């Protein structure tokens, strides 16, 4: 595999508050990587730094060999990175199909809607329903499909299981596995459910108070009881 995303020693701030300290990580082509840690550890800030919503004050972000730091979020998104934020940010007054048509206006090329319906049959059933009428799981599926519509090479997922019932979470993670394996989309996953994330991921990084404390194969971290207890809380 070749490296798709390479992050070297980024330092990010909110105002004068130093949040990320020399964070370095990489994602290979067709790989699923989990970024794990307790609440407030810096996971979401890392994703926001990669997509340009937070601009690191130092360090380097390379995507497929092209520097991304300093670019506006829309330029980074057009390069092939797409963020699915924790709060989903769908348009509640628009139908499922209208949300997708709107998202696809700037996508060249884009996933055809029929392909979306095949991957997410539940959304086909709700295609005329407004965003506000969807369940939490359906809203999460819509947020993911909206990102996929733009044909990303790397999907950044921020807490996709947040607030969802276990059966819906299982369905969404199965879809993400399919997207990775069949569509060859790499995934960088931030997820509070560490056990679930490690089952999906090939590689994982552990972050604590803004600094990476460990990385390794997911199976290795999963099997290390002291690491699970110290950093993941299970």
Q: Please check the confidence at residue 225 and state whether its pLDDT lies above 90.
A: no
Q: Across residues 62-91, what is the average pLDDT?
A: 90
Residue 201 within a domain: yes
| Of the listed ranges 1-15, 99-113, 159-173, the one predicted with least confidence | 99-113
Residue 213 within a domain: yes
Using the Cα atoms of residue 106, residue 112, residue 114 and residue 119 in order, give the sign of their dihedral.
negative
> Which structural domain, as residue segments, surrounds residue 188?
3-89+155-232
Beta sheet of 66-67, edge-to-edge order: 17-28, 3-14, 58-63, 66-67
Beta sheet of 154-158, edge-to-edge order: 81-84, 154-158, 186-190, 32-36, 203-208, 211-217
Residue 129 within a domain: no
DSSP at 92: T
Q: Give the percent of the chain with pLDDT over 70.
A: 96
pTM: 0.91
The predicted pLDDT at position 88 comes to: 81
Residue 117 within a domain: no
The predicted pLDDT at position 81 comes to: 94
Residue 124 within a domain: no
Domain count, the chain: 1
The predicted pLDDT at position 231 comes to: 64
Q: Please check the confidence at residue 224 and state whether its pLDDT lies above 90.
A: no
Residue 216 within a domain: yes
Q: What are the residues whose beta carbons fall under 8 Å from the beta carbon of 196, sequence distance 6 or more?
A: 161, 169, 173
Q: Across residues 138-145, what is the average pLDDT?
A: 90
Place 109 in a pLDDT band, splitting at 50, 70 and 90: low
Pairing of strands 32-36, 186-190: parallel
Q: What is the CATH number of the domain that holds 51?
A: 3.40.50.300
| Of the listed ranges 16-25, 49-58, 177-186, the one predicted with least confidence | 177-186
Residue 9 within a domain: yes
Count of positions (residues) in the chain:
234
Pairing of strands 154-158, 186-190: parallel
Transcribe 188-232 into DSSP letters. Answer: EEE-S-HHHHHHH-SEEEEEETTEEEEEEEHHHHHT-HHHIIIII
């Amino acid at each position: 595999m070749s490296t798709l995303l390479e992050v070297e020693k980024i330092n990010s701030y909110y105002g004068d508050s130093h949040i990320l300290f020399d964070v370095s990580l990489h994602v290979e082509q067709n790989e699923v990587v989990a970024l794990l840690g307790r609440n407030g550890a810096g996971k979401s800030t890392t994703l926001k730094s990669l997509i340009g919503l937070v601009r690191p004050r130092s360090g380097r972000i390379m995507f497929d060999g092209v520097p991304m730091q300093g670019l506006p979020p829309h330029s980074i998104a057009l390069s092939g990175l797409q963020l699915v934020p924790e709060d989903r940010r769908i348009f509640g007054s628009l139908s499922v199909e209208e949300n997708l048509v709107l998202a696809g206006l700037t996508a060249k090329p884009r996933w055809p809607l029929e392909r979306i319906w095949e991957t997410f049959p539940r959304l086909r059933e709700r295609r005329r329903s407004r965003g506000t009428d969807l369940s939490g799981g359906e809203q999460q599926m819509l947020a993911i499909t909206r990102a996929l519509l733009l044909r990303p090479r790397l999907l950044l997922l921020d807490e996709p299981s947040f607030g969802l019932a276990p059966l819906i979470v299982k369905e969404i993670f199965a879809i993400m596995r399919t997207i990775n394996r069949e569509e060859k989309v790499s995934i960088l996953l931030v997820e509070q459910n560490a056990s679930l994330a490690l089952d999906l991921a090939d590689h994982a990084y552990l972050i604590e108070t803004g600094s990476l404390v460990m990385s390794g194969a997911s199976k290795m971290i999963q099997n290390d009881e002291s690491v699970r207890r110290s950093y993941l809380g299970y």
